[in-house]
Amino acid sequence: MEAVVTSPVEEHGHGHEHDHEHHESFIRKYIFSTDHKTIAKQFLGSALFFLFVGGAMALILRWQLAYPGEALPLIGSMLSDRFVSDGVVQPGFFMQMTTMHASVMIFLVIIPLAVGFFGNLCIPLMIGTDDMAFPTLNMFSFWLVPPAAFFLMIGFFHESGAAAAGWTHYPPLSVIGGFGHYMWTIGVFFVGFSSILGAVNYIATVLNKRAPGMKMFDMPLTVWALFITAILAALGTPVLAADLAILFFDQFFHSSFFIPEGWVVADYPNNGGGQPILFQHLFWFYSHPAVYIMLLPVMGVASDVLATFSRKPVYGYKAMVFAIMAIAFLGFIVWGHHMFQSGMNPLLGTTFMLSTIVIAVPSAIKTFNWLGTLWRGSITFSVPMLHALAFVATFVVGGLSGIFMAAAPADVFIHDTYFIVAHIHYVLFGGSLFGIFAGIQYWYPKLFGRRQNETWGQIHFWLTFIFFNLTFFPMHLLGIGGHMRRISDPNVYDFLKPFAGMNEFITICAIILGFAQLILVVNMLMSFKLGKKASRNPWRANSLEWAAPSPPVGHGNFDKPLRSYRGPYEFSLPGKKRDYLPQWKKPAKSESAEESAKQAAGGNGQAAGGGGH
Amino acid sequence: MLDYFPENVSSVGIEHDELFALIYYICVGIFVLVNVVLLVFLIKYRRKKGVRAYHFHGDNLVEFVWTLLPTVLFAGLGFYSDDLWTRMKYQDKVPQADVEIDVMGQQFLWHIRYPGPDGVFGDKIPAEMSSSNPFGIDPKDPNGKDDLVVQNTFNLPINKMIVVHLSSVDVLHSFFLPNFRIKNDAVPGLWIDVWFDCFKAGKYELACAELCGSGHYAMRGVVNMQSEEDYNTWLQGKYDAVTASLQPENSTAEVASPAAESTEAAEEEIVVEESVTEEEAAH
Ligand code: HEM
Ligand SMILES: [Cu+2]
Ligand SMILES: [Cu+2]
């Protein structure tokens, strides 16, 4: 590993001292590393691991729903009899599984991937710098994940079991729930801490460390999205922290912030005077923005992938940026839509209905602009592109089901049914996860210096896309049928008995969907060694990360001084031999004169309505 | 898709189903439009030899139009929906009640309170709440002595406006009547009004829709919607029993007030959780 002599950052005057040894110890290099690429890999590795943990939990849930009262195959006999009896999932264990499945997926998979992985991978490389503004802080933000996981899961080893009050952890249930619930509170606190550390770092990095010449409106949409996401996280997470702190007081010291007077629960010294709904307000004040924390980054990723593989500039770049900002702003005033039926004053329901319905507009704008990007493009169906297209198609479904729930009177029936479960999965699996897969496939060559096997990539994509839809689309029907969420045995209800067949069908599809994900991981692992060596710019894209070697050089990333001359989406310029013009490419004399003339003539080349190109 | 709804039997349900259908048709329209355009683009603009993509950054007028259209459509939908919402939930729009009951959620059953032969509910005092007196009926209030409390299965008349005062003694529950399109959380410390009518006699299931613990899935009730005469007969039978138990010669009247009796039964059910589920599953 060679120290970089002319890193652009030093040139820029923000360099950090290269006082470390050339041969870092193994621990500093691979474990407690401050290199953003290593940290990105750590986030990726841990999140993929937890993807399988959470997936296994989901399959346990699905088994019970399809075959209530039948012993779990394979693992049934291995589980402790605190969880199963004769291999049959017990209701209490089912509740632990719903809670932990969602908690793991949200806090240990999607947030770390969307924010931790993409933030670390993309921000420094795409803005052309050597590392984050605060590399040590960055290291901490990853190393808070293992304690978070520890506290979330530790309940499984206690006789009272893991948290079982749902990922939303509403009191009073979470207050009286016991050990696993208390530990859950602490675990999520760690996740929040990690998010805040990451967020301040991203904000500082984007504002201060852009390569010379790169204006804010020359940044790729991925970076824009991560930047706004960081602001969301920095503003929202402290509120969650406050909420959890109060819950913690209720759990440990019986402070009764969330517990009212007149309450019949044994063994809880109740001081009264509290209000359970307060928890929900604070929780959703963070957790609605959090759904956008999980989504905005991948919206950025999808935009970049769509542009590259249709060889076209992103349609309406500025409109896309403003839509991200609008979502972020509106995201803070819609939280009450999760509480329409909660007993909150229905007058607020009216307000939140209107704000929520408005938040669908920027999502619609983004969808139209993605279609605009494809329009008159020259589209190749590479693996990252397939995932990005699946993202667009399925996100539309999730956005539209959101409209049903946003209309408060229509939400009355479907609230807390499988309709919500379908919505969540269309936005978080169909949206976030397909976007994440697109990004993993797209930047794999850059991060690891190898290409993945294309055929297996395609097989993984098609299996995932087909079985994703077969698993989750029918859940809309269950929801319309009135099938409640978080119930371990639908057969208790006569009106749900007709859905037994559908539940079984969903389970079979879910099992295939789960196992298909092994292909992704095996393909990634095999390609470390067997993949073809990747060139610097395998996708012929324009943004700065493709100027670096694959993989980028040790600490420093770039082997040449770097400057940005234009926006990231100059594809298929007429009259040029090549169909892309990277940001780092110095303009020829005549061109630069032309550029500056254009700029003088009003607006920079990126204006949504440039038209003049 | 819409015919997956369970049968509707309430007048608010009719309006709910109409609104749902309207949103459904709008959303299906948008879905088809977007995905057809997507597919057409994918086929038409797939890479072909010698054809270059069109270098174009976008158009402000187009952006403006496709911002305005969804805004108008969605905002219109929001304002349109609000009317039904106010009539479904606004606590200052509770209609004149023909029948009033109290419903209390408790892990994992429903308590239903009728006013008793005197037709008046006893006062509720939170400090009096206990497992033998889930409603916290004031023991000093004479009106409360004859209140009738039943569990899980209860009867109501059709073609009447029924107002339910809803609360919970422990954790959150949610009062969900699928056939009536009614749902509201039961929140400890809050009394929330929920109302509905019914135009078809029959037995309808009451579900708990908010996670309330390991027995949540089995927190099932049944409401028997009867014609007014049948309902009155049923109620009279219950009330007669209450009156009998309150007779002075019955020396144990104080202890065995109907409310206490029934909750004792209920407690048994809670303790032997397993048996609740089996019983319920057998329904
Ligand atoms: C068009 C935009 C959207 C609208 C109008 C919308 C609306 C809603 C509404 C009203 C609810 C509450 C429903 C209920 O519980 O009764 C909800 C739940 C939810 N939404 Fe969205 N949503 C939108 C987009 C998204 C996105 C993009 C995500 C995530 C990436 C998301 C994630 C969730 C989750 C996780 C829940 C369930 C929370 C829970 O109860 O566990 N939504 N959405
Ligand atoms: Cu939300
Ligand atoms: Cu419940």
| E strand or H helix that includes residue A26 | helix A26-26
Q: Which of these ranges, A37-51, A187-201, A388-402, B43-57, has the smallest mean pLDDT?
A: B43-57
Is the pLDDT at A11 greater than 80? The verdict is: no
Q: Is the CB of A299 under 6 A from ligand 1?
A: no
Mean pLDDT (whole number) for B198-217: 94
Q: How confident is the model at residue A596 (pLDDT cuts 50, 70, 90)?
A: low
Distance of CA A332 from the midpoint of ligand 1 (Å): 13
Structure tokens at A82: 């605190």
> When comparing pLDDT for B249 and A183, which is higher?
A183
Picking from A308, A357, A386, A539 by the largest number of B CB atoms within 10 A of its own CB, the best residue to mutate is A357
Q: How many residues does chain B have?
A: 283
Upper half-sphere CA count for residue A8 (Cβ side, 13 Å): 28
| E strand or H helix that includes residue B182 | strand B182-186
Q: Which residues are bridge partners to B104 per DSSP?
A: B111, B167
Q: Rounded mean pLDDT of chain A?
A: 89
Q: How confident is the model at residue A595 (pLDDT cuts 50, 70, 90)?
A: low
Task: Give the pLDDT of residue B60.
Answer: 86
Distance from C-alpha of A436 to C-alpha of A114, rounded to nearest angstrom:
7
> Is there a contact between B156 and B198 (Cβ–Cβ < 8 Å)?
yes
Per domain, the residue ranges of chain B are 9-45+58-93, 99-245
Q: How confident is the model at residue A609 (pLDDT cuts 50, 70, 90)?
A: very low
Number of domains chain A is built from: 1
Q: Which of these ranges, A591-595, B9-13, B274-278, has the smallest mean pLDDT?
A: B274-278
Residue nearest to atom 33 of ligand 1 (CA): A424
Exposed/middle/buried for residue A590 (C-beta within 10 Å: 0-12, 13-18, 19+) = exposed
CA B262 to chain centre: 23
DSSP secondary structure code for residue A538 in this structure: T
Distance from C-alpha of A441 to C-alpha of A459, rounded to nearest angstrom:
13
> When comparing pLDDT for A93 and A75, which is higher?
A93
Mean pLDDT (whole number) for A318-341: 94
Distance from C-alpha of B166 to C-alpha of A188, rounded to nearest angstrom:
32
- pLDDT tens digits for range B136-193: 999 898 888 889 999 999 999 999 999 999 999 999 999 999 999 999 999 999 999 9
Residue A42's domain spans which residues?
2-6+36-547
Which positions in chain A touch B272 (Cβ < 8 Å)? none
Q: Is the CB of A411 under 6 A from ligand 1?
A: yes
Mean pLDDT (whole number) for B85-100: 92
Q: How confident is the model at residue A31 (pLDDT cuts 50, 70, 90)?
A: confident
Which positions in chain A touch B282 (Cβ < 8 Å)? none
> When comparing pLDDT for A605 and A131, which is higher?
A131
B84 to chain A: closest CA residue: A409
Q: Which of B272, B173, B159, B160 is nearest to B221 (CA)?
A: B173
Distance from C-alpha of A135 to C-alpha of A33, rounded to nearest angstrom:
9
Interface membership of A321 toward B (CB under 8 Å): no
Distance from C-alpha of B144 to C-alpha of B146, rounded to nearest angstrom:
6
| Region of A334 on the Ramachandran plot (φ > 0 left; ψ -120 to 50 alpha; else beta) | alpha
Task: Give the pLDDT of residue A312.
Answer: 92
Structure tokens at B202: 């029959």
> Is there a contact between A39 and A138 (Cβ–Cβ < 8 Å)?
yes
Distance from C-alpha of B37 to C-alpha of B32, rounded to nearest angstrom:
8
Considering every ligand atom shown, identify the ligand nearest to the alpha carbon of residue B208 and give its number.
3
Percent of chain B whose pLDDT exceeds 70: 87
- pLDDT tens digits for range A331-380: 999 999 999 999 999 999 999 999 999 999 999 999 999 999 999 898 99
**Four-residue CA torsion sign, A63, A68, A72, A76:** positive
Rg (CA), chain B: 26
Picking from A84, A89, A264 by the largest number of B CB atoms within 10 A of its own CB, the best residue to mutate is A264
Of B20, B63, B215, the CB nearest to A319: B63
Mean pLDDT (whole number) for A149-174: 93
| Region of B189 on the Ramachandran plot (φ > 0 left; ψ -120 to 50 alpha; else beta) | left
Mean pLDDT (whole number) for B186-211: 95
Residue contact B71–A372, C-beta within 8 A: no
Residue the block writes with tokens 């209905």: A353
The residue to mutate among A352, A420, A421, A434, having the most atoms of ligand 1 within 8 angstroms of its beta carbon, is A420
Is the pLDDT at B262 greater than 80? The verdict is: no
Residue the block writes with tokens 């014609």: B227
Is the pLDDT at B254 greater than 60? The verdict is: no
Q: Which residues of A77-92 are buried (b: 16+ CB within 10 A; e: fewer)?
A: eebeeebbeebbbbbb
> Is there a contact between A350 and A251 (Cβ–Cβ < 8 Å)?
no
Is the pLDDT at A17 greater than 80? The verdict is: no
Which positions in chain A touch B39 (Cβ < 8 Å)? none
One-character DSSP codes across A280-349: HHHHHHHHHHHHHHHHHHHHHHHHHHHHHHHTSPPTTHHHHHHHHHHHHHHGGG-GGGG-TTTTS-HHHH
Picking from B7, B17, B37, B56 by the largest number of A CB atoms within 10 A of its own CB, the best residue to mutate is B56
| Separation in Å, CA of A491 to nearest CA in chain B | 7
Task: Give the pLDDT of residue B49.
Answer: 83
Residue nearest to atom 35 of ligand 1 (CA): A424
Residue nearest to atom 6 of ligand 1 (CA): A402
What is the number of other CB atoms lying within 10 angstroms of the CB of residue B255? 9
CA dihedral A164, A166, A167, A171 (to 10 degrees): -90
Q: How confident is the model at residue A26 (pLDDT cuts 50, 70, 90)?
A: confident
Which positions in chain A touch B60 (Cβ < 8 Å)? 607-609
- Annotation: CATH topology of B99-245: Immunoglobulin-like (2.60.40)
Is the pLDDT at A15 greater than 80? The verdict is: no
Q: Is the CB of A168 under 6 A from ligand 1?
A: yes
Distance from C-alpha of A438 to C-alpha of A442, rounded to nearest angstrom:
6
Interface membership of A216 toward B (CB under 8 Å): no
Size of interface A-B (CB pairs under 8 A): 345
Domain assignment of residue A11, yes or no: no
Q: How confident is the model at residue B52 (pLDDT cuts 50, 70, 90)?
A: confident
Exposed/middle/buried for residue A32 (C-beta within 10 Å: 0-12, 13-18, 19+) = middle
Is the pLDDT at A12 greater than 50? The verdict is: no
Which positions in chain B touch A571 (Cβ < 8 Å)? 53, 55
Task: Give the pLDDT of residue A51.
Answer: 96
Of A416, A572, A609, the CB nearest to B58: A609
DSSP secondary structure code for residue B178 in this structure: G
Structure tokens at A313: 């500039």
Distance from C-alpha of A611 to C-alpha of A314, rounded to nearest angstrom:
13
Q: How confident is the model at residue A4 (pLDDT cuts 50, 70, 90)?
A: very low
CATH of the domain at A165: 1.20.210.10
